[in-house]
Amino acid sequence: MKCAACHSEMVKKKGEIELRIGGKLYLVRNVSYAECCSCGERVLSPEVSQMLYNKIKNKEYTEQTITVPVLDGTYG
Ligand SMILES: [Zn+2]
């Protein structure tokens, strides 16, 4: 599988990724995805994406409060 952004080879990984759907940020654990060695682009297979969308639609997730570092990009 090739990266859509830079056409480098992608490697299969399993771990944690962030998903932003409808302005809400979701953290997905223990998920299989492909990551580009070159630019870091991450993609989910259509099957996995569908499964995650279904889970979100059916609210099959737990709400956890996590601390996220927030930076202000204003300069000057
Ligand atoms: Zn890439």
Q: Whose structure tokens read 């930076």?
A: 71
Which residues lie across from 74 on neighbouring strands? none
- How many angstroms does the Cα of residue 46 sit away from the middle of ligand 1? 18
Say if 30 falls within a structural domain: yes
- How many angstroms does the Cα of residue 22 sit away from the middle of ligand 1? 25
Total number of domains constituting the chain: 1
E-assigned strand segments in 1-76 = 10-21, 24-36, 42-43
CATH code for the domain in which residue 48 is found: 3.10.20.860
Low-confidence ranges of the chain (pLDDT < 50): none
Distance CA 45, CA 50 (A): 9
Q: What is the pLDDT of residue 21?
A: 87
In angstroms, the Cα distances linking 7 to 40, 43, 45, 47 are 12, 13, 17, 22
Query: Which residue segment(s) compose the domain that 47 sits in?
Result: 10-57
Q: Are 53 and 27 in contact (CB under 8 A)?
A: no
